[in-house]
Chain A
């Protein structure tokens, strides 16, 4: 009687079996890679804003201090976005007719707040507090990257949980002296680890507390 299967059938079967064995791990690997990528985390994605605000210009070129606009960064969980009158404190004098600043002027005139798109969006069950980080030796740059080189603001880091934990588990690798908190492009000293430990000591950092679940999740 005639053969049911051609010769290739054997090969095919083997391939199928092989792909079952190899395919699953591969799929898992690809999935993991995607999950960590910018497509998923929003890292390095530039969000459209009502006003194309350039940190590079204001911070990098004009050298305005972070705290001039982010007023509550040292006192509150929320760093604070500048209220319109802060923008207008300069722009009532400078670029008073610039097309790109129209939304700001309208906001002031119409008493309508500007709706900025949030760039660094942590899940709602994560309770991040700017003030404590800023006061305990974590520089803006450590999380926000070289903001002074960003024409348009983007999320510099993945903000994945293990990224947070990397620092919470070994703060000494990132801590900087208080005067360098708001500086961009700070280069760690050769003995960063030693200095980091000294700082951690001075700040009375309790590493056990820093990795408690309830430190970030309530």
Chain B
């Protein structure tokens, strides 16, 4: 993407400032096409240079002589190497070679438990999908937990204990610890300090409690980069006790989000997404539900909002007070706050008319004040107990924090330090310098999965086992507990957390399975425990183990707790969890690094997000390096001009700039933590200074406008238009042909994608990647436009740069009945199956690429170089390869196959029983992972099938129907439900 001159941007700003209606504005690059043009040519020559740093120079001349062989066509006749069959010595029970086995477990990549099913082949864990029986999943699974399967095989995981950086035997650690432990017990634990991330596992918490009980004078500190102290503090101020919140969005028809990204990074987002879309009655059958979002960043929740107000982070509090005042709460409204009055007034009226079915949600990262106000407003609106429940935090949390630990170290009190997980050296706030403090600790032990930044400054590293290698349990966002069971022996000899903690207490050789079992026996009781236990393991949930709701009374003097209004000064820097890298702990995961972030479409690195208008004012161009400075701290970050970014605010995502993540994650992006003050973890003031240098930001979509193709591409409408029948889409009927149309007698597979339900969360993209062996190709190839994702999410903007509306459109292969790709292939490599699936036969493909040239949707992907072989640029992780899907070699085309392997499996199963495949018997990987069930797949020849039902909607439309390709994948339009008052004001 070429840089854009500030001048152009002011022009754009003027053009688009208040433009409304259906026309989509041109993407920034497109607008500045002429000035950009010169820049394109400049870009050319670096690229020429790069190709030499590309694959070639690394390999010898041998390859070239091999090419001569290829020229002679000999490669075509080469034999397969001899293969061997190695049967079991004793066949494990219930294992049928060639058939997958599924186990239920619980994953917690984002800090709360989510139920998952693990697919294993001959004992090899292969794939993760959601557990329909689990309340936090209901069958869906988020990107982080899905991608965890890749970490299981990550060769960069710590493979042995390290002593001062040198490999050492675990027995040696045990010996050292035993002596130290006896001494500690003598001094009742004085000098022992334990640092942990927030706990989410009851059994583990119990172990820790036992340790601390055995050593009463030991001290326990907590640290997490995703600081959510505000939530509990707010609850304490409101109700006199810290309470966790459970929202019941399926009952809420008027939702106000005070920067609560409940579709994205909030705990329980999968469940909330399902409930939310349920409350909107997606798939065209719309109820009158409405979502208002006030936020200081760009989030997918904001993208789905019916009304969105971007405000600077410091202004959330004033806006919340203004709203509370309008709801008649005893709060003095601020003199000035950024949200226009008509907007708040309309919102307040909407809320008051829907008391008891509305909900005000404060974001996890908000201050106590905002949470307090949210609780008050919900109480005022009578939502408590109707759309909101409260429950006691089930697990103990540490009393002290990182700052106090540093003080203790400085005071020399810390003789022994146990860091149980996390990565504080990397993700501690900038003013807490652990890197220099930790080496002062005589005996520091880091227990974690990677030899990361923290391990580097500790005396001992004890490798932790992967969740799929460990016994355990976890609490979900709603306080319900579920078991976690290992599906494979520790591949790299990691130590299971329960065992480690038990051994710290001197219980050598403790059996984790026994520990977790005993814990739950103590909770459940002995009566028919075995049946309950086995049932729970099988279902993946502990039946009846859910934190019960408590009645919460708003304290009468709650408003006394409100702090004085924060003052706003200058440009504000908002920190946010990275939509693909979370807090950076998963930075070594190639799938996640290459996963296009929603809205920014960034991959392989982060950037400072700034509103194009602010950028123009500051003279900052796309890709230009910007110096972010806060006090004495500063970082140099490339700029990404982000429409919808609040004015006066820049966002920098956490999770970049790892130095010891591993071969994939090292040096990708910039570490936001180095700018983060401990006092204000989520936003701070910042000085921007454009530098005379450029660093290209890698994105997967360069163009975000529809060029007047709204009807052909991604349709949107409003509930008013629907009900007024105004927007009845005049569907261009497929023109009739001279030839008799083909009849599909057997099955006819088809897919429906509901743009209204799609929240752009990327779960489908990762699901597809792990199901279909889609390779990651690395930053250089993505920059050249060669990413391989079979399923992409196109995203278009509507409206001005300040607060544009966003449309997400997932685009897999359309499986056209009259497919343009098929007739141009000289090899019959892409053909039409008798069931209407557009097949891609890799072994017949010679790579002319004519099919892609002729595909109007550009959904085909090509192996331009070897992306999977031994000489691959980013070597594939063989362990996760799905044995039912061919691994594509260099030079072949590939694309979405409708998960043909699943279709075939289902068809064979049905044929063996001489029956038809039942609707819902199987579905594609993307549909399976989707939290809002926006993707529906099935047999459109079966009128009863859900997909046929939905396709019968009058809103159902085919992308680019006028090309007469007859896609099997069709869409339902996005439907917004604007508040009439606000709409009138905005002249829509």
Contact = CB atoms under 8 A, between A and B. Distances in A.
Whether chains A and B associate is: yes
Interface of A: 35, 40, 47, 71-72, 75-78, 80-86, 107-108, 111-118, 121, 123-125, 127, 129, 131-132, 135-136, 203-204, 206, 208-209, 212-215, 217-218
B841 interface: yes
Secondary structure at chain A's binding surface: helix, strand, loop or mixed? loop
B87 interface: yes
Given A83-B89, A131-B912, A214-B904, A123 B98 contact: no
Given A116-B85, A213-B844, A215-B904, A85 B886 contact: no
Given A209-B746, A214-B900, A118 B89 contact: no
25 contacts: A35-B77, A72-B96, A76-B96, A81-B85, A83-B88, A83-B89, A84-B88, A84-B90, A114-B86, A114-B87, A115-B86, A116-B84, A117-B82, A117-B84, A118-B83, A125-B843, A132-B911, A136-B911, A203-B911, A204-B911, A209-B833, A209-B835, A213-B844, A217-B839, A218-B900
B331 to A, nearest CB: 62
B97 interface: yes
A24 B48 CA distance: 43
Contacts of A72: 96-99
Contacts of B91: 71, 83, 85-86
B884 interface: yes
Nearest to A41: B79
A187 to B, nearest CB: 27
A135 B90 contact: no
B41 to A, nearest CB: 42
B99 A75 contact: yes
A91 B897 CA distance: 48
Contact of A214 (B98, B828, B833, B843): B833
Contact of A108 (B79, B89, B839): B89
Given A75-B99, A81-B87, A114-B87, A206 B884 contact: no
B834 A208 contact: yes
A125 B89 contact: no
B628 interface: no
Contacts of B835: 209, 212
Given A125-B842, A132-B911, A218-B904, A113 B86 contact: yes
Contacts of B843: 123, 125, 217
A218 B901 CA distance: 7
Given A107-B89, A121-B83, A214-B897, A206 B844 contact: no
B908 interface: yes
B74 interface: no
Given A84-B90, A214-B904, 13 more contacts: A72-B96, A115-B84, A117-B83, A125-B886, A127-B904, A131-B912, A135-B911, A206-B746, A208-B746, A209-B746, A212-B831, A218-B886, A218-B900
A135 B839 CA distance: 26
Interface of B: 77, 79-80, 82-91, 96-99, 746, 828, 831, 833-835, 837, 839, 841-844, 884-886, 897, 900-901, 903-904, 907-908, 911-912, 914
Contacts of B80: 121, 123-124
Contacts of B834: 206, 208-209, 212
A35 B843 CA distance: 18
Contacts of A213: 828, 831, 833, 839, 841, 844
Nearest to A81: B87
A78 B90 contact: no
Given A80-B87, A107-B89, A206-B834, A218 B908 contact: no
B842 A217 contact: yes
Contact of B837 (A85, A117, A214): A214
**Listed residue (B85, B96, B903) with the most chain A CB atoms within 10 angstroms of its CB:** B85
A214 B902 CA distance: 11
Nearest to B82: A117
Contacts of B885: 218
B897 A116 contact: no
A116 B841 contact: no
A185 to B, nearest CB: 26
A211 B969 CA distance: 24
Contacts of A107: 89
A86 B91 CA distance: 9
Nearest to B889: A125
Nearest to B831: A213
Contacts of A75: 96, 99
A118 B82 contact: yes
Contacts of A113: 86-89
A121 B77 CA distance: 16
B87 A76 contact: no
A204 B91 CA distance: 34
Contacts of B901: 127, 218
B886 A84 contact: no
A136 B907 CA distance: 13
A105 B95 CA distance: 23
Contacts of A115: 84-86
A124 B80 CA distance: 9
A133 to B, nearest CB: 10
Nearest to B901: A218
